[in-house]
């Protein structure tokens, strides 16, 4: 059954989130909201809990208290099958290390998430080609990842992230492995895609310059959000 569309709701609402690993508290009473189509940067030192927060949001990690709502739907109460479907249909991911499948071409990598939700092959191919054009990679359609640069790989990963029309992109250090020119290109594309398609973004980064595309910057320290400085 397709998930209902809720364009008027916040893309993400985290309330009172607590997460422990064993005896150790890693996230403490975290709350944050991202409006539909808005971008929020999350900055903080290594070990402050940023990736754990992203993993809780996408349902990979369980949490002990609080709630997470994505597009108005409460993730807490979903079973694992539903979370998986929800993740495919509502969330897009961009990682520092790209995570493209090495045996697939650029075009096939972009198509892959769409094949998991049973669209027609022609429709998937057309959408994947359109997205490769959008990220300026149509001339690399048949290349495999080992024949592409980091910047090119991340542009393809960005196309892949949006093929299922997500409402929220989770980006963990998306420019962390790129030189500044390629990083800027990826950021400009992320900003443009988020604006044009009204996709919210939660962007984890160490870098102030990367955070510039975001309306809000949250700082995290030792599992607490300690400031909102925009
Ligand atoms: N699977 C795990 N088991 C135990 N501790 C973990 C695990 N994952 C992360 N941690 C701990 O949680 C804290 C936050 O880690 P993480 O979310 O990866 O931080 P960041 O992404 O900000 O660098 C760190 O102290 C880390 O050692
Ligand atoms: Mg991390």
Q: Which of 47, 58, 205 to mutate to test the pocket of ligand 1 (most atoms within 8 A of CB)?
A: 47
Give the pLDDT confidence of 213-227 residue by residue, as tens digits: 999 999 999 999 987
Name the residue among 73, 98, 93 with its Cα closest to residue 83.
73
Query: How many A from CA of 56 to the centre of ligand 1?
Result: 12
- Of 6-15, 30-39, 109-118, 168-177, the least confident: 6-15
**Could you identify the atom of ligand 1 that is nearest to the CA of residue 49?**
17
**Could you identify the atom of ligand 1 that is nearest to the CA of residue 48?**
22
> What are the C-alpha distances in Å from 210 to residues 8, 35, 171, 188, 195?
28, 20, 11, 10, 16
**Could you identify the atom of ligand 1 that is nearest to the CA of residue 52?**
17
Give the pLDDT confidence of 37-81 residue by residue, as tens digits: 999 999 999 999 999 999 999 988 999 999 999 999 999 889 989
**Is the separation of the CB atoms in 169 and 190 below 8 Å?**
yes
What would be the CATH architecture of the domain defined by 12-228?
3-Layer(aba) Sandwich (3.40)
Looking at residue 1, its pLDDT comes to 47
CA distance 165 to 172: 19
Sketch the domain layout of the chain as residue ranges. Answer: 12-228
Using pLDDT thresholds of 50, 70 and 90, give the confidence band for residue 6: very low
Strand intervals (E) in 129-215: 168-172, 200-205
Query: How many A from CA of 5 to the centre of ligand 1?
Result: 33
CA distance 92 to 158: 8
Ligand 1 pocket list (CB less than 6 A): 21, 26, 44, 46-52
Environment of ion ligand 2 (residues, CB < 5 A): 50-51
Query: How many A from CA of 49 to the centre of ligand 1?
Result: 6
What percent of the chain clears pLDDT 90, i.e. is strictly above it? 83
Give the pLDDT confidence of 133-145 residue by residue, as tens digits: 999 999 999 999 9
CA distance 202 to 54: 9
């Amino acid at each position: 059954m397709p998930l209902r569309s809720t364009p008027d709701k916040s893309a993400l609402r985290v309330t009172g989130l607590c997460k422990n690993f064993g005896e150790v508290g890693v996230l403490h009473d975290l709350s944050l909201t991202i409006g539909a189509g808005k971008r929020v940067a999350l900055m903080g030192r290594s070990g402050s809990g940023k990736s754990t927060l992203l993993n809780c949001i996408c349902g990979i990690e369980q949490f002990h208290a609080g709630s997470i709502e994505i597009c108005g739907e409460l993730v807490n109460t979903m079973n694992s099958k539903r979370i998986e479907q929800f993740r495919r249909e509502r969330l897009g991911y961009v990682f520092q290390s790209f995570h493209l499948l090495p045996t697939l071409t650029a075009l096939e990598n972009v198509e892959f998430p769409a094949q998991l939700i049973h669209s027609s092959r022609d429709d998937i191919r057309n959408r994947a080609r359109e997205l490769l054009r959008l990220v300026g990679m149509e001339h690399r359609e048949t290349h495999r990842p080992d024949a592409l640069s980091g910047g090119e790989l991340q542009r393809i990963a960005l196309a892949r992230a949006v093929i299922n029309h997500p409402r929220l992109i989770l980006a963990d250090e998306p420019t962390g492995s790129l030189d500044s020119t390629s990083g800027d290109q990826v950021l400009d594309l992320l900003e443009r895609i988020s604006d044009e398609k009204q996709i919210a973004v939660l962007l984890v980064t160490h870098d102030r310059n990367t955070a510039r595309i975001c309306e809000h910057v949250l700082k995290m320290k030792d599992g607490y959000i300690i400031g909102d400085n925009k």
